Amino acid sequence: MKKPNQSTSMKQRYAAGYVNPMKGKAPWNKGKKLTQSHRDHISATHADVRGVKHPNYGKHLKSETREKIKLANLKAMQDPEHRKRCLANRGISTLEAKLISVIQAYQLPFKFVGHGQLWIEGNRRIGGMNPDFVHTMKKLLIEVYGTHQKTKHYGNCLNYENSRRLRLQEAGYNVLFFDETWFFGAGWELRVYQGILEFLREME
């Protein structure tokens, strides 16, 4: 079974018959011994700049510089093609892969859009939002997330869910959240399936 975080672009390349051009070829330096002068040249031109030797070690960016970088990144994310490239490169998470398997097994009307296929321009944040799953006919979303990351950035998971739900509702969407605790233990597939069915009934 392929790893769930393998990027879609690489899957497509291999499906199209992509083969690494270097496969089966020996590297140029296999079996060769470098002369001492060659070793000295490498040492002189490839200085060790790790840790305290790095020129930026111990330096901190000014708050103004950090804000400029943040705004530049947000501006770049407004370009649809840039967003798709960034999101596609991250691959599919374990939780997303598990939910995809439930959707396929029970033929649920949701599809994965976490690689930038759907971008919702909210009213409260520059750059918009990219949900994980969307209903094929209605403005219903499913989001999966890890509790550790959201607690780190929002204080707790409830703050994250309330904040994101409010922004999505402003854009006309209703959302169902699943954290990682839904996807572990005996019978997790049925538990997730029942959670989605209950959500659909509430939205009728």
Q: Could you report the per-residue pLDDT of 7-46, keeping only the tens digit for each?
A: 455 556 555 555 566 667 787 777 788 888 888 877 777 7
The range of the structural domain enclosing residue 145 comes to 63-202
Contact 168, 122 (CB under 8 A): yes
Q: What is the DSSP letter of 203?
A: T
Inside any domain, residue 183: yes
Q: What is the pLDDT of residues 123-134, one digit of tens each?
A: 554 457 889 999
Residue 31 belongs to a domain:
no
Query: In terms of C-beta distances under 8 Å and separation of at least 24 residues, what long-range contacts does 74-83 make, across chains too?
Result: 74/126, 74/127, 75/126, 77/127, 77/128, 78/126, 78/127, 78/128, 80/116, 80/119, 83/116, 83/119, 83/130
> pLDDT grade, residue 119 (50/70/90)?
confident
Residue with more model confidence, 125 or 160: 160
Neighbours of 48 (CB within 10 A): 8
Q: Give the whole-angstrom CA distance, residue 37 versus residue 21.
A: 32
The answer to whether residue 76 is domain-embedded is: yes
Q: Is the pLDDT of residue 67 over 80?
A: yes
Q: Residue 126: inside a domain, yes or no?
A: yes
pLDDT, position 126: 46
- Please report whether residue 142 resides in a domain: yes
179: domain CATH number? 3.40.960.10
Residue 71 to residue 50: CA distance in whole angstroms: 29
Domains: count for the chain? 1
Among 1-10, 170-179, 193-202, the range scoring the smallest mean pLDDT is 1-10
